[in-house]
Structure 1
């Protein structure tokens, strides 16, 4: 028999099987009962089930299935297949009613699944660093999975779930599908790891935990304009002779560079984030501008410096007044000490004091 004849016979057999199954009444009383009532089988694994009919339904009953073997024992038909090789087997158990050609049927729902061969993640049409504020599409490609209607794809950033996506469609055989997620990266996403997870949710009859395949992780590089560290003191007042330090430290990606413009309008040779003047003079007052730049943008930081001159005359007056106060205080103390503490006396008074003593009688 030629190959074309074989294919014709197989097609005809399948057609007649479908016609027979479709002609059955699935809402009749005393329907055949499958045990278990639902099966979830991995493609290539063995499968088995039983079909039972009522005692009065033995006139003509059987099991229609495209694979496996069956064994009848009383009111029960046992069916098994060493390997699931069909994606939509749809076994049907039936019996023919007495004195009638009407048939009563029950179908055994079988979900045949296959975990993904591979899961890939990438940015659609983009390689290299991303720019803050722009839109990019993450793509998660799930390869050769079945059934796609039971698949849930989850996008992650680190350990944070960004989005869960089912697939609206019915395909029994393995298919490859691409899931998309649009993101807008920000500064804090620099260095973040993106990945996706493909999970087959097959219900309580399916394997527990559900089959899961994850992608590799891709690390995002996000370029963003410079950010200033802290709040600058735009108005600065300093005394002449004091050291001046202006700081416009910032961060960014790529790392920023610095340039300074002096009050005179001329650039400064410093390329540091800090500008230092050891001792300021009045000529150092004015507007200083620090420009912080990278490939994503520039920010300008302004410092308005006012230098206060030292008032020499006021200092001299203060010193003179202080010296005068000290001198007057010294004279006052000297006068007080001489008159109150040391006292005044003459030699005549000393001798007079000696003669004024009288003897004190002693009594025994």
Structure 2
């Protein structure tokens, strides 16, 4: 009633189910009688104060009422605002879909909160590892304990494999509640996620020196563990390498015949991926020394000059160009030279 000269201390109470409770009601008015009306702890006194006390508060519907009767027959009262709470008996996470999860497919996880009150003060928070992924509050008004649940929709990726999903139930009881909100956390739910293979190295071009050793890594991750298939041209210096469940291609003393495209296929139930490696060869330095090369060039030039001289000489003979040295006759006189023409007498 408005204007009622009653003071209830504290005006609001938050009590854990089964704990004791004690509230004072007082007045400065001239009263004939005052007291508390309640299913448990009811009492009265001539005034000016009266205390309501309960050793174990277990009545979910209780609404204690402090009243006064004034000497002029005026009567008024005030209700105690009381919240009785209970933390959940169980908080657990389960899967609503048959597992394991498959990358890219939506799945649902359920957080079950058993026997909690009041539900309208409850907040459920979902975590993936240390990351908050979802939070939910409830609009129910019931004061008695209830079972509630929260659903988390998950579209997993490969990185979720082995991650822990946790839900935490908090009773947010406000400034009149405990210093720390009562909290119950579920056991971790470990996600098993099937995802397509992923190569540790991508498509690549390798340029190597002749005679160099080469390793092509075909390591891949995936769940289930992928099967690795290798595609390459066989050669005496090429072999497969195996390290645990991983495979690769090893080339010892690479030659020009090893140039080409090598590929690795990784296959599991979710998908198939291929990695390509193109191998090219650099030129190899000639074992012939530099001085030897110069001598070969000199000899080659000399041979070319000789061929040119011989060709010029042959050309001159064919065109009648001769050079004679005069000889002497038997008597010592010089023999006269007579010009010749193509078989015709002068």
* TM-score interval (norm. to shorter): 0.7 to 0.9
Deviation of residue 298 (structure 1)? Answer: 1.2
Task: Decide whether the 8 Å contact of 2:93 with 2:110 is kept in 1.
Answer: yes
Instruction: Report the secondary structure of 1:112's partner residue.
Output: strand
Instruction: Report the secondary structure of 2:159's partner residue.
Output: helix
CA distance in structure 2 between the aligned counterparts of 1:121 and 1:81, rounded to whole angstroms: 37
- Aligned CA distance change for structure 1 residues 243 and 50 (closer, same or farther; 3 Å): closer
Determine which of 181, 187, 195 is the counterpart of 1:216.
Answer: 187
Partner of 2:129: 158
Q: Does 1:37 align with 2:11?
A: yes
Instruction: Report the secondary structure of 1:55's partner residue.
Output: coil
Partner of 1:252: 222
Partner of 2:251: 277
Give the structure with higher Rg (CA). 2
| TM-score normalized with structure 2 length | 0.73
- Aligned CA distance change for structure 1 residues 121 and 305 (closer, same or farther; 3 Å): same
CA distance in structure 1 between the aligned counterparts of 2:276 and 2:233, rounded to whole angstroms: 11
- Once the two structures are superposed, the pairs formed by residues 148-297 of structure 1 within 5 Å of their partners are 148-234=119-205, 236-238=206-208, 241-262=211-232, 270=240, 272=242, 273-297=247-271
CA distance in structure 2 between the aligned counterparts of 1:238 and 1:81, rounded to whole angstroms: 88
Question: What per-residue deviation string (whole Å, max 9, x for no partner) do you get for residues 267-324 of structure 1?
Answer: x98475321232445544433222122222111122333457879xx87696742456
- Aligned CA distance change for structure 1 residues 309 and 99 (closer, same or farther; 3 Å): closer
CA distance in structure 1 between the aligned counterparts of 2:36 and 2:289, rounded to whole angstroms: 121
Partner of 1:321: 293
Partner of 2:278: 304
Instruction: Report the secondary structure of 2:293's partner residue.
Output: helix
CA distance in structure 1 between the aligned counterparts of 2:254 and 2:70, rounded to whole angstroms: 112
Deviation of residue 244 (structure 1)? Answer: 4.2
Q: Which one is further off, 162-171 or 237-246?
A: 237-246
Structure whose residues are more often strand by fraction: 2
- Aligned CA distance change for structure 1 residues 59 and 286 (closer, same or farther; 3 Å): same
Q: Does 1:76 align with 2:49?
A: yes
CA distance in structure 2 between the aligned counterparts of 1:206 and 1:243, rounded to whole angstroms: 72
Partner of 2:76: 104
| TM-score normalized with structure 1 length | 0.70
- Aligned CA distance change for structure 1 residues 172 and 325 (closer, same or farther; 3 Å): same
Q: Does 1:134 align with 2:105?
A: yes
Partner of 1:355: none
Task: Decide whether the 8 Å contact of 1:282 with 1:309 is kept in 2.
Answer: no
CA distance in structure 2 between the aligned counterparts of 1:213 and 1:30, rounded to whole angstroms: 42
Question: What per-residue deviation string (whole Å, max 9, x for no partner) do you get for residues 4-34 of structure 1?
Answer: xxxxxxxxxxxxxxxxxxxxxx2x2134221
Structure whose residues are more often helix by fraction: 1
- Aligned CA distance change for structure 1 residues 123 and 283 (closer, same or farther; 3 Å): same
Deviation of residue 172 (structure 1)? Answer: 0.4
Structure 1 unpaired stretches of 5+: 1-25, 328-364
CA distance in structure 2 between the aligned counterparts of 1:145 and 1:49, rounded to whole angstroms: 25
Instruction: Report the secondary structure of 2:204's partner residue.
Output: coil
Task: Decide whether the 8 Å contact of 1:121 with 1:138 is kept in 2.
Answer: yes
Structure 2 unpaired stretches of 5+: 300-346
- Aligned CA distance change for structure 1 residues 319 and 222 (closer, same or farther; 3 Å): farther
Task: Decide whether the 8 Å contact of 2:201 with 2:217 is kept in 1.
Answer: no
Deviation of residue 243 (structure 1)? Answer: 4.0
CA distance in structure 1 between the aligned counterparts of 2:210 and 2:9, rounded to whole angstroms: 97
- Aligned CA distance change for structure 1 residues 34 and 227 (closer, same or farther; 3 Å): same
CA distance in structure 1 between the aligned counterparts of 2:181 and 2:82, rounded to whole angstroms: 17
CA distance in structure 1 between the aligned counterparts of 2:215 and 2:295, rounded to whole angstroms: 37
Partner of 2:329: none
CA distance in structure 2 between the aligned counterparts of 1:195 and 1:238, rounded to whole angstroms: 51
